[in-house]
Amino acid sequence: MRFVFMGKSKRSVVRALDLLVERGAEVAAVVAPEPDRWTREPQRLDLAARRHGLPLAGVEELGGEVDVVVSFLYWRLIREPLLSLGHIGCLNFHPAPLPDLRGVGGYNVAVLEGLREWGVSCHFVDEHLDTGDLVEVERFEIDPDAHTAFSLDLLSGERLVDLFGRVIDRLLAGEELPREPQGPGRYVSREDFEALRVVRPGDDLGRKLRAFWYPPYPGAVVEVDGRRLTLVDEGLLEDVAEAYRDAGRLP
């Protein structure tokens, strides 16, 4: 079975590609982003592809005989002709429960709204964002009073790799994947996300700071003299201090 694998630079994405190769799947091409200044070697999908001897390609170069296109945290909207490239279809692995939270900012909303249950999803991709038929949704309990967006991402990444392994095993065993229409759901746009980030009177400040804590990206912000400044509290500063010390940055 031939796959195209697409994803961003993240450790969970690298682990998913490793798993695909370990299962004996044929990977026709890997679509990976250019690394930025924050990307470290364990996160780099391009290096993982080279390590396995897999060809890297741009979306416009994809073609040929392909059974499944995999989007694992891929960062762009998938369009035709890529949607129809795989004979079985295009599968997206989404780091939130569907149809509860489509689009962006799922971790942030989970912490901000005090959700006690979270999840990860696999679905077939259609022409819209995160709306295609569901293959599987794994739900699990979380403590929103303990998590930051960053820590919930780490947990969700582990669960998403596990879900990926189960789905890939079914495909390689020749099973037909289930397809369940999603129905109505909630979509969070980039504009919605940026509006949620701003600290406003009456907010639960501690919860909001944790909900948007994801270094190196801006956290919960206040607007001062036309600038957006990230707020932190003592607990978040302790996280930064620990990371500094673990990295050997000591006074």
Q: What is the pLDDT of residue 67?
A: 98
Rounded CA separation 92/132 (Å)? 9
- The confidence band for 10, taking pLDDT boundaries of 50, 70 and 90, is very high
* Per-residue pLDDT at 120 exceeds 90: yes
Least confident of 93-97, 158-162, 225-229, 247-251: 247-251
Average pLDDT over residues 70-80: 96
Q: What is the pLDDT of residue 96?
A: 98
Average pLDDT over residues 64-93: 96
Positive/negative CA dihedral, 138, 143, 148, 154: negative
* Per-residue pLDDT at 118 exceeds 90: yes
Listing DSSP states for 206-219 in one string gives HHHHHHT--TTS--
In 3D space, the residue among 86, 101, 61 whose CA is nearest the CA of residue 4 turns out to be: 86
Long-range contacts (CB closer than 8 Å, 24 or more residues apart) made by 112-115: 112/196, 112/207, 112/208, 112/211, 112/212, 113/144, 114/144, 114/145, 114/207, 115/142, 115/144
What does the pLDDT look like over 198-230, one tens digit per residue? 999 999 999 999 999 999 999 999 999 999 999
Mean pLDDT of all residues belonging to the chain: 96
Rounded CA separation 137/97 (Å)? 6
Average pLDDT over residues 69-82: 96
* Per-residue pLDDT at 238 exceeds 90: yes
- Do residues 102 and 81 make contact, with C-beta atoms less than 8 angstroms apart? no
Residue holding tokens 């001062």? Answer: 224
What does the pLDDT look like over 145-194, one tens digit per residue? 999 999 999 999 999 999 999 999 999 999 999 999 999 999 999 999 99
Rounded CA separation 71/75 (Å)? 9
Q: What is the pLDDT of residue 41?
A: 96
Rounded CA separation 169/25 (Å)? 10
**CA distance readout (Å), 53 to 46, 48, 97, 134, 168:** 11, 9, 34, 32, 20
132, two tokens: 């295609």
- The confidence band for 76, taking pLDDT boundaries of 50, 70 and 90, is very high
Question: Domains in the chain, please, with CATH?
Answer: 2-172 (3.40.50.170), 189-246 (no CATH)
* Per-residue pLDDT at 88 exceeds 90: yes
Q: What is the pLDDT of residue 79?
A: 94
Rounded CA separation 95/193 (Å)? 16
- Paired with 224 in beta bridges are 227
- The confidence band for 85, taking pLDDT boundaries of 50, 70 and 90, is very high
Average pLDDT over residues 226-245: 93
Respond yes or no on whether the N-terminal peptide bond of residue 215 is cis (omega within 30° of 0): no
Rounded CA separation 133/139 (Å)? 17
- Do residues 207 and 114 make contact, with C-beta atoms less than 8 angstroms apart? yes
Rounded CA separation 47/53 (Å)? 10
* Per-residue pLDDT at 250 exceeds 90: no
In 3D space, the residue among 169, 165, 177, 103 whose CA is nearest the CA of residue 133 turns out to be: 177
